[in-house]
Amino acid sequence: MTPPAKSTPEAEAEPLLVEHTGRVVTLTLNRPHRRNAMSTALLEQLAAELNQLTGRKDTAPGALVLTGAAGTFSSGADTREPDWHDLQRRAVRRAHFRTVFQALHAAPFPVVAAVEGYALGGGLELALACDLVVAGEGASFGLPELAVGAVPGGGAVHSLLRRAGRGVAARMLLIPGERVRADELARLGAVERTVPDGEALGAARALAASVAAGDPALLEAGVRLLRDSGHLDRTSALGVENGYWWQAASAAHREPAPPAASPS
């Protein structure tokens, strides 16, 4: 395997790329020399961009795609940052991570992850924080935190327990170097779609565009229902569904009635 290129100021100039295509926005983690490991600067920019996108009311995108440059989604937090072992700085990075996850949960539009190569640690957490995951068949997912003196802190274990089951969550968390391929996670329900390697971004954008063509108010109600009810018992989930049903019905009721037929 070719070793990653050394970090340079030029390489860090644009750690996050933003592209608008119709009603779909694509955010690309752009640190290929570090396999898109998430540095403090990248997390700051990602958090700011997500907050800006989710804060728009009338001009919000119809859907968002998250991906990584150069055939890799993300290898997780950048443990090679000079102050990695400084607890205060780690707390700052963690705050940025939490801001990113909170913004994704609050987004009034669907979020699709396009995963190629590795999605490890925080990278896996970022992918699982999305509503839909499209992955290349050779994509590899893992949780190496215990091996680097940490534990997952961005919801990966909860997401895996809910979406794929305890067995996979335990394997990925506890077995050193354990990696799970996209096809296995797809069978278990944690990945929604697999495609040939190299085609994840195109497939994710096509999926996002088809989703974004829907009514924005109903899409928002749909994603909020999906995110807010998955962890609840059935009775509580039905209560949440009832609330969004009335919200959608009330919005439809406020629409102007179709014109009456002209008298003959």
Catalytic machinery residues: 77, 122, 125, 145
Distance from C-alpha of 19 to C-alpha of 27, rounded to nearest angstrom: 7
Structure tokens at 54: 């989710």
Tell which residue, 159, 57, 49, has the closest CA to residue 104: 49
Distance from C-alpha of 129 to C-alpha of 116, rounded to nearest angstrom: 16
Cβ atoms of 80 and 37 within 8 Å: the answer is yes
Distance from C-alpha of 130 to C-alpha of 218, rounded to nearest angstrom: 18
Cβ atoms of 160 and 168 within 8 Å: the answer is yes
- From edge to edge, which strands make up the β-sheet containing 24-29? 16-21, 24-29, 63-68, 111-115, 132-136, 193-195
Structure tokens at 183: 């096809």
E strand spans, the chain = 16-21, 24-29, 63-68, 111-115, 118-120, 132-136, 140-142, 180-181, 193-195
Cβ atoms of 93 and 40 within 8 Å: the answer is yes
